[in-house]
Amino acid sequence: MTAKIILNPYSARWRASKRFPEAASALRDAGVEFEVARSEERGGCTALAEQAVRDGFSPIIAAGGDGTIGEVVNGIVKATSEGEPLPPFGIIPLGTANDLICNLNMPIGLKEAAEIIAAGKTRQMDLCAVNGHYFANNTALGLEPLVTITQEKIGWLKGIPRYLYAALSAIYQGTSWHAELKWDDGEYSGPISLITIGNGAQTGGLFYMAPHAEPFDGKMTFVYGYVKSRLRMLSLLPLTMKPDDGSYVEKDEIFEVHTTRLSVKLTTSSPAHADGELFDRNLFEAEYQIFPGRLPILMP
């Protein structure tokens, strides 16, 4: 069958558009038959992916970064009836951080990505959703989406350093919220600085915000905590870059939980992102759920 490539030219600040001819050449060399749909507006990949599924293309390939992956996944799900299997999904990594690729221990080289697509081997990966919006890698309220908002405004830094500078800037703002949280076997009511939910462990290219998340275990991993001072938050920042021993989740004010559902209520609104893209700037309530093994993702 013919693959549909959903290209987000904006990914990595337009570098995806410049690199795509190399990706197309690699796909042809690997023997992949494909057509390309190029998004012409922010968020346009969702509609393109939905139409590609309805037109019978398979597999559906996201060419871009983690935000592109999230948009394409939402389009695929929209075009598929409940209980109906999703078409195979693949990735051409053209983003800045390519977090999902890293979390899946897949190569970021375009030649290798094309060969994985050509091989056609899939594995059933978990999908998650917040208020009906699907995400493949992670989502967050509180501090993390403030980082997203900040980095979008930075034009003088590129790549991973932009995320790090944005994190420092967001910490300096020193904001907090009051939240009510309920999950499978627990609840919490009180102040919070961050709520981050991971299907995968890594986000932003540097940070392991849900360090023990695993995209094939049938559970979301969420982390919440309240950090009273900017200085204490700054001291924790380097620990968010540790995937294992020494992680920030080992500290007394931070909690990591594995669950199949999570309910969040805030007394004041927070921005919210999914797969690095803001989907709500004034969110008060959120319902998170997981769909185990829902996405057949092309992997080695």
**How many Å is the Cα radius of gyration of the chain?**
19
Q: Are 90 and 64 in contact (CB under 8 A)?
A: no
Low-confidence stretches of the chain (pLDDT < 50) are none
Share of the chain above pLDDT 70, in %: 99
pLDDT for res 43: 84
User: What is the value of pTM for the model shown?
Assistant: 0.92
What are the structural domain ranges in the chain? 3-120, 138-292
Taking residue 199's Cβ as centre, other Cβ atoms within 10 Å add up to 27
pLDDT at 164: 76
Q: According to the model, what pLDDT value does residue 75 have?
A: 98
**CATH for 138-292 (2.60.120.260, 2.60.200.40, 3.90.226.10, 3.40.50.10490):** 2.60.200.40
Q: List the CATH code of the domain at 3-120.
A: 3.40.50.10330
